[in-house]
Amino acid sequence: MLRDYTQRVSNALEQPIEFEPGAADYPVLPPRRERRLETVELREGLIDVLRLRHCDLLPLIAERNSNLGRVMTPSQTLQYELRFLPAVQTCEQQLQDRINAEPELQPLLQRVREIRQHKEQQLPRVIWNGIYTSPEMEQQFSRSATTLPLQAPGIANQAQQLLDPFSVISRLATTEASWPDSAFILGLEQHYEQLYRTEIGSQWLRSVQLLSYTMNQVADGIEDRLARRPICFNQQPNNRATIIQNVFRSFYAQEFQPYLARVDQFGQRWRRLHAELQGPLPVPESTAHYFRHLFDTDWPGGLTQQFYLAQQRHTDAWQQLLQHCGLMPGSETGAPDAE
């Protein structure tokens, strides 16, 4: 569609416009080792572990120390920690309830309290690692994806459904967040699977890049053509103006602009959801810089800023062209507004 649109404008203007967008040129997601935040693991001594049988924590501890537990994926590690922390909190409360009748439990209570405090301190880092070092999330920032489809009704809502469960998790890094029920935590892998089965994030990146390229190329073509020699004398439409108007109505207004609007709508939702996800979490500096380049509309030279600058330049070029031939709204043969 973008190639055809560019060619139609080129033919209408009798002005060569190149369309060779090449490979994706936006930044590569920083390597996982740069995105991963260091966490401090607890290593219980044998006696301490055995004493935790008072709280039925031994199965959870054994699960983490098993062969499979030592090679957990980021999503599995996150799920485990979200199960372990409530169990420790319950253990602390149970010991507190028994301490008057069994004062010998005081050292164990103190140890459990330390474990709970440690887990709470580490939780924001654990959540960040569980979400943003996972292969499922990495896929959303690949540079090898195709574009968003031309027809994708409800795709912005799909983005919301994909990331909402992870926003529930990220809010746990704040003290006022309510803890999700066990069914939600146990079903966390299903949300990772849904994320794995789509590439809409990386498709949006590719769409933004190609749209920006196309809009700048078309704007170049219009500007160069108007600078070369007049198309319409004294703003009076002629046969060439009729061809330009037809291209505007049939290809700009009916094909290009609706797709541009859908990509923009999706991007606004996608960027906001990631801002909500990352808001409560510690973000490594290299990764923060990467996301600012992609998402921040004020980041100099950033992907989104260049996208909006290209939109404005493209719109201005079309308005200048239509005005040149007396085709702007208000004229006898006026075309729709170039917005």
25 and 166 inside one domain: yes
Question: What local confidence, expressed as pLDDT, does residue 45 receive?
Answer: 63
248 and 100 inside one domain: no
DSSP code of 54? G
| 224: in domain | yes
Q: Please state the pTM of the whole predicted model.
A: 0.89
DSSP code of 158? H
| 137: in domain | no
Other C-beta atoms closer than 10 Å to the C-beta of 224 total 13
241 and 307 inside one domain: yes
Question: What local confidence, expressed as pLDDT, does residue 50 receive?
Answer: 63
Position 163, amino acid: L
Report the C-alpha gap between 78 and 81 in whole angstroms: 5
Question: What local confidence, expressed as pLDDT, does residue 301 receive?
Answer: 93
Walk along the chain (339 residues) and give the pLDDT tens digit of each residue: 999 999 999 999 999 999 999 888 889 999 999 999 999 877 666 557 667 777 878 888 777 766 665 668 999 999 999 999 999 999 999 999 998 998 988 988 898 898 899 999 999 999 999 999 999 999 999 998 899 999 878 888 999 999 999 999 999 998 777 899 999 999 999 999 999 999 999 999 999 999 999 999 999 999 999 998 889 888 888 999 999 999 999 999 999 999 999 999 999 999 999 999 999 999 999 899 999 999 999 999 999 999 999 999 999 999 999 999 998 765 544 444 444
117 and 227 inside one domain: no
67 and 204 inside one domain: no
| 185: in domain | yes
Return the residue matching tokens 């510690």: 282
310 and 228 inside one domain: yes
Most distant CA pair in the chain, distance: 100
Could you tell me where the DSSP H helices lie in 229-329? 239-247, 257-278, 285-295, 303-324
Residues of the domain holding 318: 1-30+146-339
Question: What local confidence, expressed as pLDDT, does residue 47 receive?
Answer: 59
Which is nearest to 64 in space by CA: 52, 76, 50? 76
| 138: in domain | no
169 and 288 inside one domain: yes
Sign of CA dihedral 241, 242, 245, 246: negative
| 139: in domain | no
Question: What local confidence, expressed as pLDDT, does residue 77 receive?
Answer: 92
Position 158, amino acid: Q
| 151: in domain | yes
Burial label for 71, CB within 10 Å (0-12, 13-18, 19+), is exposed
43 and 11 inside one domain: no
Total number of domains in the chain:
2
| 105: in domain | yes
| 327: in domain | yes
174 and 298 inside one domain: yes
Return the residue matching tokens 């859908």: 262
